[in-house]
Structure 1
Amino acid sequence: MNTQAEILWVDDEIDSLRSQILFLKNKGYEVTALSNGYDALELLKEKEVDVVLLDESMPGLTGLETLTRIKEIRPLLPVVMITKNEAENIMEDALGAQITDYLIKPVNPNQVLLSLKKIMDGKRLISEKTTIAYQQDFRNLFMALSNNPDHEGWKELYKRLVYWELEMGKSDSEEMMEVLQTQKAEANKDFFKYISKNYANWIKDSKTAPLLSHNLFAEKIAPNLQQGKPTFLVVVDNLRFDHWKAIQPIISDSFRVTEEDLYYSLLPTATQYCRNAIFAGMLPADIEKYFPLEWKNDDEEGGKNLYEEKFLRNQLKHLKLDGLKTQYIKITNNDDAKVMEDNIHNCLNNDLTVVVYNFVDMLSHARTEMEVLKELAGDEVSYRSLVVSWFEHSPLYRALKKVAEKGIQVLLTTDHGSVRVKTPSKCVGDRTTTTNLRYKHGRNLQFEDRDVLAFRDPKLAGLPKPNVSSAFIFAKEDIFLCYPNNYNHFVNYYRNTFQHGGISLEEMIVPVVRMESK
């Protein structure tokens, strides 16, 4: 019989447990039996075991004292505490010292076996269950793709793909993750066709369109604003839907989600276009028309998002909400973030506090520039993990927790997402052509037609037209646009980095969430 695991059982009445130990051995477990904590610690210095079964009430070195020393020697070793005492403080001490499970005496053999299986087989069982469930849903997803989904259908399909991506991330099934990634790639191929066919119509006739960036504030934010109710609108740049779902369990400690939705980011899925559109409540072409001094095209000098507060106040006036006490805060570095955290209580005097937070966008760009971040965020799972780690320890989350008990409302959203690029495509332009890897605009652009959605007339996409011969192109799926000069160097440098500006589910379908204090 194959050994299931190495078990160390420590109990001062070990002789009375011989039948239980024999039961475990018959189930394939190797069991070492010891009668005191001192011997257990000596053994653990010399030998690897998989689980410790530890009696709480022992003379000499108690179970809790033994537990503390075990964790010093082997911090990750699972320990099951077995106790006669149901006293709450003992359980709190044991849980605080990171026990994996606990059992109350008298224990029967099947209780012990169940606990061991939960510890040893938990991940495998979760993986198997997830794999079976995904296999069952695989055909449903395939059918949904085949049924020409509309914009609501694409949102639902993307939600399901993200759900399975997060579930697969909890298990170690590389094969099924590959199947899922292939299905996601197929979905992005069809999504590109869908956007290519419909986007110009959305811009021309808003009745046919989903909720887009320039209507987000009027439709999702404004109806929830009222005098005397402190509301925080938090716009985290480049926050994808899977990022939101990964940080949701953290933020749910302090806030209750009352509405979760997705909306479509405008093209190009880049900050200067999408975020200005959110705050102005206008398409980029209209912003240029009504704010010619404030709008900057890609090829012009100066910051491209310097007038968001001006655009916001103009939109509030247009929506007859300019009577609200409003404050706009932009966070572009850690010093800004600390100032906001220290002064967050002052924001409770506002009806609306807008916080624009640039961390995730900086992370994706820094990841391209820094080798260490390329290592840390080399794939979807690690990139998501990095975003979660940032959020959990961020001044933003600490600030929100500080005021969570004050009966506030938080509206969390983003301007666009990002996609991991893998496939290069050659593109040629003149000196004024933009450098972005997922979209370009300029004169005399030459490109592979099959790799992009092109707008020879930018007005059809609701975009400014810097000069008579300007055109916009948007890369599809996981493509990144490279110039022929030094081609191989740039292909190797940018492949597998996270970029935005083009057309993919990850870039275009993004979260907008409403939360209330618990």
Structure 2
Amino acid sequence: MAEITILWADDEIELLKPQILYLENKGYKVISVTNGQDSIQKCAEENVDVVFLDEHMPGLSGLEALPRIKSKAPEAPIVMITKNEEENIMEEAIGQQISDYLIKPVKNKQMLLTLKRLTDNKRLVSEKAGANYQKEFQKIFMRFQEKLTPQQWADVYNDLVYWELELDNSGNEEMQEILENQKQEANTEFCKFAGNNYINWLDNEDDEETPVMSHTLLENKVLPHLIASKPTFFILIDNLRLDQFKTILPILTQYYNLREESQWYSILPTATQYSRNSLFSGLLPSEIEDEFPNYWRNDDDEGGKNLYEEHFLDALLDRTFHDEVKYEYHKITNFNSGKKLEENILNSLDNHLVVIVYNFVDLLSHARTDTEVLKELAYDESGYRSITHSWLQHSPLHTMIEKLADHDINLCITTDHGSIRVKTPSKCIGDRNTTTNIRYKTGKNLSYVEKDVLAVEDPYQAFLPKPSVSSSFIFAKDDRYLVYPNNYNYFVKHFNDTFQHGGLSLEEMIVPFGWLTPKK
């Protein structure tokens, strides 16, 4: 550890020699002065790491010297030392952004703890987080080697995301790299598991081990609560991964208590036109096509693929409640529509259900693929989380959520699917009508690397549409993406390291659900 220099300003510095000697024996360098003016001068002359500043000194007091010290040494944390425990003195010092305060007589251990927190906190946090993850590493590894249920896989992924956020905050790059490798191993095992069980889940949705999925989410998590006296606001943020949800959760819990945090499974493909239409209809894609042939759009059909979500929701509510539920549906695709809804949101309180679909995160992931500036801002998962947090912090959705916290409501936050940062190209071949998505393909006579994909030869088995007799689907596993041999190098350069969805991975398939109620 590099030597830490402390500037200690106190008019009774002679009485503090035992404490100064204690710090010097611990490896700190201490510069002592007896008044506020000298403390300012020393900050200008010396490289000071921490300032201990007596609140009450003759001439220029500590409180008066504080802003001038900060101007000379803006990076140095300032610890106010005082005999005065009056609340107004403390508030004034805190208002001037001191880092801590100590009450005289100063105790050695208390002083040392403050110094370690201020000067060595990052290293200590990094080492502690790394040590804690090392303890858990083998436990997590052994878990995904076992025969797990869908819920247990969700728990494993939840643990991996927890450590991803912990290590990200600690800055421990060595442990982050180990965790990244463990996530890749977990994804490999999860893809085997989901590939072996996916069709069975769809065929046996009442089985106790079948997870809640896109088409059963509302039925299981939301509809049972609707004929209560309080309105339910159901906010779906498109393409919100579990790690992003956990990153924005502190914004929500400023105003709300988290009553339930759980995960559910998106259907395949993990793409908006399939997962979100399924979510709002309570049906699987082939069932939607049968029930609403005029509203379902296949991949190769022209026009928007999610234009009839409100119609699907209306039909689901009618089947379940027979017109007993009053609801609203809003889709927000830009700032102005979000601002308009925020300004009028309290007019929606007389509904049983208010559905709000926010498309920002999905738009961000697509824009990042094509925009160099966004690639730099959201270079990796950490940057992606940071932008998501910043967006919510400054968006009309945040203001809307804060307004609603003054009222007796239920608040649900969820998504339709996640996304994964793709890194491994896999060659495939299809005809000219094969879909363009690089995480899944549907078409005729598909050729592909078998180990890289989950193949569904008969789409009806997976409750997917079948535009022609020979149509099939393939879903890229873990971090792979599907590219054609023609222009192979161009596609690899363009899509490598981008966030994509539609395929099979922990990040795309296991997605968050939060149920919150206002604190007030």
TM-score (ref. length: structure 2): 0.96
For the pair 1:28 / 2:14, whether they are aligned, the reply is no
Q: Residue in 1 aligned with 2:203?
A: 204
Q: Is the 8 A contact 2:215 2:280 kept in 1?
A: yes
CA contact (8 A) 2:48 2:73 kept: no
Per the alignment, residue 87 of structure 1 pairs with 86
Q: Using a 3 Å threshold, how does the CA distance of structure 1 residues 89 and 350 change in structure 2: closer, same or farther?
A: farther
Alignment partner, residue 366 of structure 1: 367
Cα distance in structure 2, aligned partners of 1:437 and 1:42 = 62
Structure 2 distance, partners of 1:329, 1:338, is 12
Task: Measure the CA separation in 1 of the matches of 2:41 and 2:492.
Answer: 55
5+ residue gaps in structure 1?
Answer: none
Aligned-residue CA RMSD (Å): 1.6
Q: CA offset at residue 132 of structure 1?
A: 1.9
Q: Is the 8 A contact 1:313 1:322 kept in 2?
A: no
Provide the C-alpha distance between the structure 2 equivalents of 1:259 and 1:296, rounded to a whole number of angstroms: 34
| Alignment partners' CA distance in 2, 1:382 and 1:182 | 19
Is 1:378 the equivalent of 2:382? Answer: no
Q: Bigger CA drift: 105-114 or 418-427?
A: 105-114
Deviates further, 406-415 or 35-44? 35-44
Residue 295 (structure 2) pairs with residue 329 (structure 1):
no
Q: How do 1:113-132 and structure 2 match up within 5 A?
A: 113-132=112-131
1:98 Cα offset (Å): 2.3
Paired residue type of 1:235:
L
- For residues 304-453 of structure 1, the aligned pairs below 5 Å read 304-320=305-321, 322-453=323-454
SS in 1 for 2:116: helix
Answer with 19-28 or 8-17: which moved more: 8-17
Task: Tell me the equivalent position of 2:267.
Answer: 266
Alignment gaps of 5+ in structure 2: none
SS in 1 for 2:328: strand
The question of 1:486 aligning with 2:500 is answered no
Q: Per-residue CA shift, 1:287-315, capped at 9, x if unaligned?
A: 11111111111111111111111111110
Q: Which deviates more, 242-251 or 270-279?
A: 242-251
**CA–CA distance in structure 1, aligned partners of residues 422 and 412 of structure 2:** 30
Q: Distance in 1 between matches of 2:496 and 2:36?
A: 54
The separation in 2 between residues aligned to 1:71 and 1:331, in whole angstroms, is 44
Q: Secondary structure at the match of 1:286?
A: helix
Counterparts of 1:92 and 1:46, CA distance in 2: 30
- Whether the 8 Å contact between 1:326 and 1:351 is mirrored in structure 2 is yes
Displacement of 1:20: 1.7
After superposition, residues 467-486 of structure 1 pair within 5 angstroms as 467-486=468-487
Letter in 2 for 1:340: L
Alpha carbons 1:3, 1:29 under 8 Å: kept: no
Which string of whole-angstrom CA distances, capped at 9 and with x for unpartnered residues, describes residues 209-242 of structure 1? 2111000001101112125312100001111111
> 1:404, 1:98 → 2: CA distance?
30
Residues 106-115 or 156-165, more deviating: 106-115
TM-superposed CA distance for 1:39, in Å, is 3.0
Partner of 1:496: 497
Question: What residue number does 1:18 align with?
Answer: 17
Distance in 1, matches of 2:465 and 2:146, equals 35
User: 72-81 or 440-449, which moves further after superposition?
Assistant: 72-81
Partner of 1:463: 464
Give the secondary structure class of the aligned counterpart of 2:260: strand
User: 1: CA distance between counterparts of 2:36 and 2:299?
Assistant: 69
C-alpha distance in structure 2 between counterparts of 1:175 and 1:321, whole Å = 57
Q: CA deviation at 1:73?
A: 4.4
Call closer, same or farther: CA 1:394–1:339 in 2, change over 3 Å: same
Distance 1:403 1:334 in 2: 19
Superposition deviation, residue 75 in structure 1: 4.0
* CA distance in structure 1 between the aligned counterparts of 2:275 and 2:85, rounded to whole angstroms: 57
Q: Which residue is equivalent to 1:191? A: 190
Question: What is the alpha-carbon distance in structure 2 between the residues aligned to residue 309 and residue 245 of structure 1?
Answer: 28
Secondary structure in 2 aligned to 1:323? coil
The 2-side partners of 1:65 and 1:472 are apart by 71
Question: SS state of the match for residue 478, structure 2?
Answer: coil
Report what 2:288 is aligned to.
287
Name the SS of the counterpart of 1:349 in structure 2.
Answer: coil
Distance 1:467 1:350, change over 3 A: same
1:4-83 alignment runs, 5 A limit: 4-83=3-82
- Percent identical pairs in the alignment equals 55
Q: Which amino acid aligns with 1:80?
A: V
1:98-117 residue pairs with structure 2 within 5 A?
98-117=97-116
How far apart in 2 are the matches of 1:62 and 1:407?
50
Is 1:258–1:514's contact at 8 Å kept on the other side of the alignment? yes
Task: Tell me the SS of whatever aligns to 2:516.
Answer: strand
The total of aligned residue pairs comes to 517
Q: Is the 8 A contact 1:134 1:164 kept in 2?
A: yes
Helix, strand or coil at the partner of 2:132: helix
Taking a change above 3 Å as real, the CA distance of residues 140 and 321 of structure 1, as seen in their structure-2 partners, is farther
Cα 1:210–1:171 shift into 2, 3 Å:
same
* Offset at residue 97 of structure 1 (A): 2.6
Q: Is the Cα–Cα contact under 8 Å of residues 127 and 173 in structure 1 kept in the other structure? A: yes
Q: 1:71 to 1:342 in 2, by over 3 A?
A: farther
Which shifted more, 129-138 or 255-264? 129-138
Distance in 2 (alpha carbons) for counterparts of 1:495 and 1:174: 22
CA contact (8 A) 1:271 1:415 kept: yes
Distance 1:117 1:477 in 2: 42
1:275 paired residue number:
276
Q: Residue in 2 aligned with 1:155?
A: 154
Give me the whole-angstrom Cα distance separating, in 1, the residues matched to 2:157 and 2:459. Answer: 28
The alpha carbon displacement at 1:492 in A equals: 1.7
CA contact (8 A) 1:20 1:109 kept: yes
1:180-259 equivalence runs, <5 A: 180-208=179-207, 209-259=210-260
Q: Deviations over 1:73-109 (max 9, x none)?
A: 4444322111222122222232233222111112122
1: distance between equivalents of 2:427 and 2:62?
Answer: 66
